[in-house]
Amino acid sequence: MSQATPPINHALSPVPESSRVFGLREHASLWFSLGVGLLVMQVGAYLVPATGIREAVWATFLGSLLGAALLAWVGKIGCDTGLSSAGLMHRTYGTLFARLPVLLNIVQLLGWTIFEMVVMREGSVAIVGQALGLELSGATATLVATLFWGLVLAALLAGSMLTLVRKFVSHYGLPLVVLSLLWLSWQFGDFLAENGWAQFWNRPGDGSMTMFGALDLVIAMPVSWLPLVADYARHGRSGRTAFAGIWFGYAIANMWCYALGVMVISSVGPDTNMVNALLLAQGGLIALGLILIDELDNAYGDLYSGSVSAHSLLPKWSIRRWGMGLALVSTALALVLPMHTLEPFLLTLSSVFVPLYGVILGRNVLGGARRTPEAKTLHLWPALLWLLGIAFYHSIGQWAPGFGSALPTLLLTFLVALLTRPRASPSGAQVEAC
């Protein structure tokens, strides 16, 4: 009897040319859309009154440019190699050891999906309640709203990611989201203008956050997408356009949402919930509804990437089947897990991926992405650097919190990974630098 052909592991194989359909427009549209969200606005609101308005603006501008550049850099590597995020981890850390970060990535993506679903649930309940003049609360409203968004996600994941990005996000979703952001910016900008732009611009902070700390906070959002970007960028036709589209799209969205968060919280006060604050604006109901639809993109992005990573571990299940399964799991968990206790756990997990991708960048830049590394179950240097990078990330947060943790850790792991990268010997073989 002939043995059954093992299933193709699409996550660990370079994407075929027939699937390389993303150009500059698709990259920019997708990452602008993924960069917009209520969570981003809420994090932006944390900048004030911890820092002054001027410091918040500079941190938002510089942090967004730098964070989006890191995101685009990883995306370019994914496009140049045709590999998914799981594929880059296998390439850098070895086929056996890479299973650890891949598994952690799945866990964090499920967590962020649950977080997004809770945000969408609370936002939709608030919208329906205000539109109908009803006070919606309790288990029934939570159940119905959660199941609704869960079924929508499962339906989207049953379709084609390429079609969704090219047909819906680029042509319909993006213009609607831009219009909603323009409207909200005008509304809250007009409110601040009534009280005097000079007073707003010169508003000081309370000194509880340094400039480096503010930069760390702004960079946190683009860095959180590092474990996902290659899953989409590998479908690009050119690494150069992938880099440009991701950088431009995400940087603009990140700047806009952080700045809008600062404007909103400066208008209504630091104790106001972001959803309720947006509803205070004239036409805020419609604008918030459009942003919630865009929030769906973020949850979809998390689950699609999670399904690619899960497929890399168990290729017997297709990416589509994994996506629908993870959508059902995240829906069930969103009904029982409290969002506010989940956030610290997710931020801790995020600290794992800063040094992880510092090492990946160091190993794959300056022509490294074109090399074919020796197939091993464990690449010792990258694995040790990652683990040491995690320890450094948390140590610097204790020893020198004023400098932030993300940038120093990325810089350290990148430089050491670059210096210890395999080099070609005179005979043509690759040897590890000591």
Domains observed in the chain? 17-338 (1.10.4160.10)
Looking at per-residue confidence, does 166 or 178 come out higher?
178
Q: Nearest to residue 92, comparing CAs of 349, 312, 381?
A: 381
Q: Are 305 and 109 in contact (CB under 8 A)?
A: yes
Q: Average pLDDT for residues 344-348, to the nearest whole number? A: 64
pLDDT at 116: 87
Task: Give the best-scoring range by mean pLDDT among 88-102, 122-136, 275-289.
Answer: 88-102
Whether the per-residue pLDDT at 275 is higher than 90: the answer is: no
Q: Which SS3 state, helix, strand or coil, does residue 273 take? A: coil
Whether the per-residue pLDDT at 229 is higher than 90: the answer is: yes
Whether the per-residue pLDDT at 343 is higher than 60: the answer is: no
At 176, the pLDDT band (50, 70, 90 cuts) reads confident
Phi, psi of 423, rounded to the nearest 5 degrees: -120, 155
Q: Average pLDDT for residues 308-337, to the nearest whole number? A: 94
Quick one: CA torsion of 276, 278, 284, 286, rounded to 10 degrees? -80
Q: Distance (Å, rounded) from C-alpha 224 to C-alpha 218?
A: 11
At 427, the pLDDT band (50, 70, 90 cuts) reads very low
Q: Distance (Å, rounded) from C-alpha 146 to C-alpha 225?
A: 24
| Range with the poorest average pLDDT among 56-65, 245-254, 421-430 | 421-430
Assessment of whether the complete model's pTM goes beyond 0.95:
no
Q: Average pLDDT for residues 191-220, to the nearest whole number? A: 83
pLDDT tens per residue, range 108-167: 899 889 988 988 888 888 887 777 666 666 778 889 999 999 999 999 999 989 888 877
pLDDT tens per residue, range 396-414: 878 877 777 888 899 999 9
Q: Average pLDDT for residues 261-285, to the nearest whole number? A: 77
Length of the chain: 434
pLDDT at 399: 84
Output the DSSP codes for 184-233: HHHHHHHHHHHT-HHHHHT----SSS-HHHHHHHHHHHHHHTHHHHHHHH
Whether the per-residue pLDDT at 171 is higher than 60: the answer is: yes
Looking at per-residue confidence, does 289 or 228 come out higher?
228
